Amino acid sequence: MIGLKGTLNVIDNSGALLIECVNVLKQKVNNGWGSVGDEIVCVVKRARPISGQASASAAKVRQGDVRRAVIVRTRKPVRRPDGRLIRFDDNAAVLLNNKREMLGTRIGGVVSADLRMKGWGKIVSLAPKVV
Amino acid sequence: MSEGQGEERNSGSRDTPHTFTIPPRSVASGRVYRVQASKPRATRLQRLRNSTLLSSAQLAATVLTTTTTRLWLFASSGVGSHTMLNVFRRCARRLMSTATEASSSAYPFSKVAVIPPPPPVPTPEPVKFGKGLMAYLPQRTLPQHKLDLLARFNKRHPERIMPGSVLQVTTNHAPSSFTGVVLSIRRRGADTSFVLRNVINRTGVEVQFFVCSPHVKDIKVLMRAGGKGGEGRVGRRMRRAKLFYLRDSPEKMTAISAGLR
C-alpha cells in the first residue's frame, strides 16, 4: 500500500537509491494506494553520485528529479489467485520513463510474480529472481 | 318445551352454563358436537385464538402489534412507563393463561358446532449432542491426499509439522517451489494455512500457503523442529508457537539455514 510520501528502494541501475511516492497512477482514480504492478510518480530522494563525463548507462537520474516508477515489492501482503499471500520485507520500485520503458538496464533483487499478471513482462524477464 | 327435553337439558347442567352437548341419538356419525348457545361475547384474544388456527408465533405477533399500537397511543398521550408495563403484564397473562377453552377448530358449515381438538402428539427430543456441519464438510469434500496433509498439521499427530521446521512447498504453477522456515500455523480445519519465511537476495520474503488449495502439490519437510520421528534432519525445538521474532533477527535465520546445510 504505497501512497503519498511512501518511500521505496530502487533496485535497478538507473542511479537512484531512494524514491518517494507523489501520486499513484491508477485508472479512474487520482489518489489511492499503490500495490505491486502499479505505476507511480515519484521524487528521487537519494541518488548515487554521478561520476563525471563517461557513464555506462545513458540515463542517470539526480536527486530531486521527478520520474515515474513501477512498484515491484511491497511490505503489505498481496494475494495471489489461488489464495496465497506474498509479503516482502521492504518496498521496492523500478524507474520508468513516460512511455513505460525502463530507465535502467539491469535489476538487482527479487521481484514479485504479480508483475507478470499486470503486464510488466520485460521487468520479470530481467529480474534475477521472481517469487 | 316438553319435560323430556327439559330433563335432557338438566342432565347437561354439569357442563358450563353456556354449553350443552347434543344427545347421542341425534348424531349420525358418532362425533360429539358441542353446541354453544348464548355464549358471552369473547374477548379479542379469545376470538383470535378460536377463529383461525394461528400458531403461537403469529399470535404473539398480533398481540405485539396491538400492544405496540397501544404503547404508541400511551406514549403519545404522555403516560409513564408504569402503564406500558401493565399492558405487557396483561398480555403475557392472557397468552399464558390456561383457563380459557383449548383451541378447537371450527366446523365450517355451522357457527355453533365445534370439533374437539386432536389429542396432543409429544414433541420429538431435540438432538443435543454430536458435531456440527463444519466438522464433517472437509471429510466429505476433500480428496484423501489433502486430508493426509491436513492431518500432519494436527497438534496430536506423531509426525506433526511444528513452527521452526523448514519446509519445501511445490506448487502446480510458477514459481514451482518455495522453501522456508515455518513462522506460524493457523489451524482452521479446511482453511488451515502456514507462513514460510525465506531470505532471497538479501530480501526477506514471506508466503502464506493454504494447505487445502489445489495449487499446493506437495509439502516436504527438510528439517523438523524437534519431535520424535519423521522425515528430514532434526533441528532445535522452538519454545514459541509463532516465530515472528525471526523477522527482526537475521542472525537466527542464518543459524537455522546453517543447521540445514
Supply the ipTM of this predicted assembly: 0.90
Select from B201, B204, B213 the Cβ nearest to the Cβ of A82. B213
**What does each of the 261 residues of chain B score in pLDDT, given as a tens digit?**
444 444 444 444 454 455 444 444 544 454 555 555 555 666 676 666 665 555 555 555 555 555 555 555 544 554 455 667 777 777 666 666 554 444 566 788 888 888 888 888 888 887 777 888 888 888 889 999 999 999 999 999 999 999 999 999 999 887 889 999 999 999 998 999 999 999 999 999 999 999 999 999 999 999 999 877 778 889 889 999 999 999 999 999 999 999 888
B74 touches chain A (CB under 8 A): no
What residue segments make up the domains of chain A, in order of their start? 6-49+61-130
A109 touches chain B (CB under 8 A): yes
Which chain A residue has the Cα nearest residue B209?
A84
Q: What cell was used for B245?
A: 521474532
What residue segments make up the domains of chain B, in order of their start? 5-104, 143-256
pLDDT at A50: 83
Beta-carbon contacts of B56 under 8 Å, excluding residues fewer than 6 positions away, are none
pLDDT at A68: 96
Cα–Cα distances (Å) from B91 to A86, B66, B181, B207, in that order, read: 61, 10, 66, 62
Which chain A residue has the Cα nearest residue B173?
A82
A73 touches chain B (CB under 8 A): yes
A117 touches chain B (CB under 8 A): no
Torsion, CA B39, CA B44, CA B46, CA B49, rounded to 10: 130
d(CA B6, CA B23): 12
Exposure string (b/e) for B77-114, b if CB count within 10 Å is 16 or more?
Answer: eeeeeeeeeeeeeebeebeeeeeebeeeeeeeeeeeeb
Mutation target to probe the B interface, by most B beta carbons within 10 A, among A75, A85, A124 is A85
Are B209 and B133 a contacting pair, CB within 8 Å?
Answer: no
Q: What is the CATH number of domain A6-49+61-130?
A: 2.40.150.20
End-to-end alpha carbon distance in chain B? 116
Name the residue with higher pLDDT: A77 or B17.
A77
Are B37 and B19 a contacting pair, CB within 8 Å?
Answer: yes
Query: Is B207 in contact with A87 (Cβ distance < 8 A)?
Result: yes
Q: State the DSSP string of A27-92.
A: TTBSS--B-TT-EEEEEEEEEPPPPSS--SSS----TT-EEEEEEEE-SS-EE-TTS-EEEESS-E
Class of domain B143-256: mainly beta
Instruction: Please report the residues numbered 88 through 107 in chain A whose beta carbons come closer than 8 angstroms to any beta carbon of chain B.
Output: 88-90, 92
Which chain A residue has the Cα nearest residue B204?
A89
pLDDT at B211: 95
d(CA B129, CA B152): 28
Query: Is B207 in contact with A85 (Cβ distance < 8 A)?
Result: yes
Residue A62 has φ and ψ, to the nearest 5°, of -110, 170
CA-based diameter of chain B, in Å?
A: 117
Residue-wise pLDDT for A46-62, tens only, equals 999 887 665 555 568 99
Query: Is B247 in contact with A85 (Cβ distance < 8 A)?
Result: no
d(CA B175, CA B47): 75
